[in-house]
Amino acid sequence: MKTLQIVLMGLEWDRIIQPIKKYRPEKVIFVQHGRRKASSDDINEMVRMSKELAEKMIGKIGFLIESETVYTDYHDYEECVQKLLEIFKENKDKYDDIMINVSAGSKIVILASFLVSQFFECKLIYSIPKQYSMFNPKLKVLSKGVSDIKEIETFNFIPLIGLNKTEEKILYKLDNDKISLSSLVVKVYGNLKNEYDVLKKKNLILYHINKMMDKNLIMSENVNGQKYIHLTNLGRFVKDLKEGGHVE
């Protein structure tokens, strides 16, 4: 069984390295804060220390385990979600078992991990520390040691989305920008030959639009007598999940 472990990087060596030792994955992907320099010197220093810690771990495990480091803005929820989606799409067919170590990392990237994990076959793992730094001021990190490693099973909500082929076509043709109902008909069905076909397809799309609105995937509004449609945040997330046939 091939295992991939996704690690949200922080400063706690024990809580990150112990699950790697326990599960012996074929590959570890370290998710690291990066891209933008923070306004706080303290945060920049923590980022530097976290990167050094990841490099040290790669040096320790590199001769046994394949590793990769990816970067995302730990303070940008949407970017974290997108980066984690990319990781899953690229690796879900390569590994039998995928787990995310959520013991470290910012709360935002942990929340993003929890969201994305509910739509794929994977599990979350959490290392319970033996000692927190608040009880020992001499500790230079947030915690020391690991008393236990908990596995949190995910639900995989993909089957509950339940879109039919027409609804998936509508989903793929929409984006963040508003589009008129007439333009959406052309995008989905192409240029139609007569008014009867246009009216028939409009009514069909309206039926599916109402169903998708009930699922909070799209929104519609009337402007000067014209109906406009666009994706909701949930709709964009589901589109990213399913687009290109990556998720059945």
Q: Are 132 and 1 in contact (CB under 8 A)?
A: no
Same domain, yes or no: 120 and 29: yes
Decide if 235 contacts 218 (C-beta within 8 A).
yes
Whether residue 13 is found in the same domain as residue 107: yes
So what's the pLDDT on residue 40? 61
pLDDT confidence of residue 53: 80
The whole-number pLDDT of residue 81 equals 94
Structure tokens at 237: 């997330």
Range of the domain at 63: 3-156
Q: Which of 65, 67, 63 is nearest to 54 (CA)?
A: 67
Closest CA to 12 of 149, 150, 148, 127: 127
Residues 199 and 240 in one domain: yes
Same-domain pairing of 25 and 66 = yes
- Written as tens digits, the pLDDT of the chain (248 aa) is 899 999 999 888 899 999 999 999 999 999 998 855 555 666 677 777 788 888 888 887 877 899 999 999 998 999 999 999 999 999 999 999 999 999 998 999 999 999 999 999 899 999 999 888 777 777 777 788 899 999 998 888 877 788 889 999 999 999 878 999 888 988 888 887 788 888 888 899 999 999 999 988 999 888 888 889 999 988 999 998 887 444 44
Q: What is the structure's pLDDT at 246?
A: 40
At 164, which CATH number?
Answer: 1.10.10.10
Asked if residue 213 lies in contact with residue 232, where contact means CB atoms within 8 angstroms, the answer is no
Measure the CA–CA gap between 139 and 165, rounded to whole angstroms.
Answer: 56
Same domain assignment for residues 55 and 128: yes
Name the residue type at position 178: K
Q: What is the pLDDT of residue 245?
A: 47
pTM reported for the whole predicted model: 0.80
| pLDDT value for 248 | 44
